[in-house]
Structure 1
Amino acid sequence: MSTSVLATTEMHELTDAELSEQTGQALLSLGYTNPSATGEGKNTSDYGFYKLGLEAKVELNANIKNLQLGCGGTNGAGACDIDMSNVSLSGLPDGRLADGTATWSKDRPSTSAEITNPFLEFAIKNPNSASTREVTGFRLSAEKIMGYLSAGTDNIANPTDGIKSFSGFIKVAKTPVNAFTKEAFFGTTEDQRIFAKITALGLFPTTVFTDASSMQSSTNGGSPWGIKVPSQKVQFDFPETIVSGNRMSQLNLVVQDVPIPTISIGADNGAIKMLLDEPISLLFGAIYADKATFYMGEKDTTSAGCAANRNTKNCSYIDNLKANVTVKQNFNLIHNLPITSGGYLSLQSEKIKWPGSDAADVAQPGFWLSFKDPLDFGALNPTSGIGMDDVLPQIATFITNYLSQNNIDLDLAKTFDAITGAPIYKGIGAITLADNARAVMTLSNLLLDSNQKPVSNCYGGLKFC
């Protein structure tokens, strides 16, 4: 038996014919991509790509305290192309809590990212000329990468770690936004002044405008004059968006024509103190009404009642308001980047279009990190309200434009109120803004909810290890 075993383990020489009949898989593979055949590259006649690959599946769980690449160099001193701290790479989560926090049934540090067929690729300029050929870049990548990349340790308003500088290409998947505005007083500053046309008994037209000198007077419990605009839900979807550039510190997303819910106005919302340009001249002489407190709703109306019943006779509404919304979000407020397909890290001395990358992905000089498929950030659910300071002056302009074409007519009782200085209660119905009226709204550095909470990749109670 010993002799038989030894015989079967000896190596045997194969003829060329016998060797050609064998099949197998090499651990290492070498390849060359000619861009002239694929249409890729900065100039299809200038570049060739040589690839050294490992035919294997590699599993990796890693924590990196500081990842800094391309500091100084071709893109300038004093910054880095890629600067991240407290970076973790693990396997993908297999569940989520009700608040969106990612969970792992085996604990995150027990999982690994899967890197299938990793490779190193070189970009060679003028590959067919021995005298002028030049290595202009290289990249690290894989045929497929499945993993969960996170940066930073805390989901707080002003983090000092995480993604500080990013150079590369990201395609952000369609992202729902569930935000809300802060309660505000409208008509309390000079840039929120409203002009309107008023007639008394259908006659004697004059113009009224908000009284800037008394906008901040407090006669109702210390509150300023103005219409109280309640908090409004702002819900919309960002379309799939490409973010690409060098040394970016902020993610910029833009979406057009976001509908803002109707703002219902009743007498309880507040009042705007108005001035009349001219006295109301009745048949028996000129009567001056220098100031009047104008409520955009009847005395017995409430904003909630107006919203529920849509009673255009006694209420007022701001309709058809839309906004063009820009989100400016610092990268270090975005902690979780699930990777479900692949990507690459490259270094190049000039712009290079790497084979197989997205059509819009042209790597810029320096270090470049690219993600192949759209990244799903989950929902963007800000935990704090959006300030309306920039939007309210724009609404004032839209309302003035509407009221310049639509008179407010006072009946006999309200004309008497105006003359005597008594409050004027008047529901003026729907203030339907023009179809092309767009407010510009900016959401900056909003703290996101728990779907961006980083989960520790350590055993025990450590935040980072």
Structure 2
Amino acid sequence: MSRQKIKLLALSGFLICIQTAQANGLSQLSDEELSNIEGQALFNLNKTDNSSQGLSFYRLGMEAEIALNANIKKLQLGCGGSKGAGCDIDIDNVALTGITTSNAQGAGATTDFILNNPFVEFAISNSNQASTRSIEGFRLGALSALGMMSLGSNENTSTLTDDTGINSLSGDIGVRVTNANINGINITLIGTANARVNDYSGTIIADRSTSFSLTGLKATARLMLGGFIPVPIDLQLTANMNNIPFNTAHRLQVSDVNGNPTSGAYLSLQKKDINWQNIATGQWNNIAAKKGWWLSVPDTQFANLTMDGSGVRLSALDAIGGILGATVDIPAMDLGQRPVNNCYGTLKFC
């Protein structure tokens, strides 16, 4: 086909489009009229100033939903540097899947971790001065997130000796514990006790930490007094679980208490402490992301925990103090979780 024929065909198509537009009643708009028209783009750019921090925040967002199923053998961020030996974040065997309670082979392989409206954001100081402006930090986040973050491995849920997962963590993690039970706690000279922990919520703030604590837990304990015929006694106790190794946390369900997506989750890197904004609410976080890498997950659910307390021994004095209203300190124990199996067939990750 000659070039002249191609040009004629193109011109004919253009004229047909014009005639079709005229037939459909389309009309020309002025610049002022166009400025009043709103549309939705795949990407959007926003700037927010925060004078109290002396920073301007530039955010590039994507109007999209990302469904993610991923395995990471080793995640290490912020190792060494000005903060010395160690890592800000050091985790073995991370899997991002949808929410499932199954421990079956490949239970997570057909599910997805959902990120709605992901974004990248930069914190800039002196943004109006080209000679002195500087990037103070950046973060990756999403308007909302929903899914399961599985960590490490745990073959034996009765002992801490084989747990792997989080070796160190920097961040703030909102924790809600529901339907948690501790069975078979040994109390010297008295007997054994089973405890049901009341629903609990709190925020863990970690800075290159290897362990965390849950304080002020309320529990109903059934104490079985030893003897020829054990006698059950029900007690209301306040307890602390101190120095729980992070590597015994194997399932972080990223959602609100009703299983809906949660807002405000992000991963950031900053040269100084920064209070980032929750873009869903417009509120500035009251917990600052500290220098280095920082993981913030405002809502995670620890549901249906069954903990084997047979390796825990409390003295009779501790038990009596609890009966009288004192806070009982419970030593760290395996939380009884196993990560979601996210293996495909014979492919090995877990």
For the aligned pair, the TM-score class normalised by the smaller chain equals: 0.7 to 0.9
* Deviation by residue 1:138-176 (Cα, 9 ceiling, x = unmatched): 101111122221111334332363111111010101434
Residues 7 and 155 of structure 1: is their aligned pair in 2 closer, same or farther, counting only changes over 3 Å?
Answer: farther
DSSP-derived class of the 1:167 partner = strand
The equivalent of 1:285 in structure 2 is: none
Residues 86 and 9 of structure 1: is their aligned pair in 2 closer, same or farther, counting only changes over 3 Å?
Answer: farther
Q: Distance in 2 between matches of 1:21 and 1:8?
A: 29
Residues 458 and 169 of structure 1: is their aligned pair in 2 closer, same or farther, counting only changes over 3 Å?
Answer: same
Aligned counterpart in structure 1 of residue 168 of structure 2, from 148, 165, 175: 165
Aligned counterpart in structure 2 of residue 363 of structure 1, from 284, 289, 292: 289
The equivalent of 2:329 in structure 1 is: 441
Q: Distance in 2 between matches of 1:23 and 1:259?
A: 57
The equivalent of 1:136 in structure 2 is: 136
Q: Distance in 2 between matches of 1:354 and 1:255?
A: 29
Q: Distance in 2 between matches of 1:57 and 1:180?
A: 42
The equivalent of 1:112 in structure 2 is: 112
The equivalent of 1:67 in structure 2 is: 75
* Deviation by residue 1:326-347 (Cα, 9 ceiling, x = unmatched): 2432111111112232410000
Q: TM-score, normalised by structure 1?
A: 0.60
The alpha carbon displacement at 1:462 in A equals 4.3
Residues 28 and 320 of structure 1: is their aligned pair in 2 closer, same or farther, counting only changes over 3 Å?
Answer: closer
The equivalent of 1:249 in structure 2 is: 210
Aligned counterpart in structure 2 of residue 91 of structure 1, from 76, 91, 98: 98
Residues 15 and 321 of structure 1: is their aligned pair in 2 closer, same or farther, counting only changes over 3 Å?
Answer: closer
DSSP-derived class of the 1:332 partner = helix
Structure number with bigger Rg: 1
Q: Distance in 1 between matches of 2:127 and 2:237?
A: 55
The alpha carbon displacement at 1:455 in A equals 2.3
* Deviation by residue 1:384-412 (Cα, 9 ceiling, x = unmatched): 42533x4324457x6xxxxxxxxxxxxxx
Q: Distance in 1 between matches of 2:66 and 2:234?
A: 57
Contact 2:221 2:236 in 1 (8 A): yes
Identity of aligned residues (%): 34
Q: Distance in 1 between matches of 2:34 and 2:235?
A: 77
Residues 236 and 455 of structure 1: is their aligned pair in 2 closer, same or farther, counting only changes over 3 Å?
Answer: closer
The equivalent of 1:146 in structure 2 is: 146
The equivalent of 1:80 in structure 2 is: 87
Contact 2:200 2:217 in 1 (8 A): no
Q: Aligned Cα RMSD in Å?
A: 3.3
The equivalent of 2:249 in structure 1 is: 334
The equivalent of 2:273 in structure 1 is: 351
The equivalent of 1:325 in structure 2 is: 240
The equivalent of 1:230 in structure 2 is: 191
Q: Which runs of 4+ in 1 moved over 6 A?
A: 318-321
DSSP-derived class of the 2:308 partner = coil
The alpha carbon displacement at 1:377 in A equals 1.1
Q: Distance in 2 between matches of 1:152 and 1:367?
A: 20
Contact 2:184 2:308 in 1 (8 A): no
* Deviation by residue 1:322-369 (Cα, 9 ceiling, x = unmatched): 453324321111111122324100001111100126744210111000
Contact 1:391 1:440 in 2 (8 A): no
Residues 321 and 150 of structure 1: is their aligned pair in 2 closer, same or farther, counting only changes over 3 Å?
Answer: closer
* Deviation by residue 1:223-282 (Cα, 9 ceiling, x = unmatched): xxxxxx2221122225211101211111210125645445646xxx3xxxxxxxxxxxxx
Q: Distance in 2 between matches of 1:69 and 1:355?
A: 22
AA of the residue aligned to 1:118: P
Aligned counterpart in structure 1 of residue 60 of structure 2, from 49, 52, 56: 52
The equivalent of 2:43 in structure 1 is: 28
DSSP-derived class of the 1:132 partner = coil
Q: Distance in 2 between matches of 1:257 and 1:111?
A: 35
Aligned counterpart in structure 2 of residue 383 of structure 1, from 290, 303, 308: 308
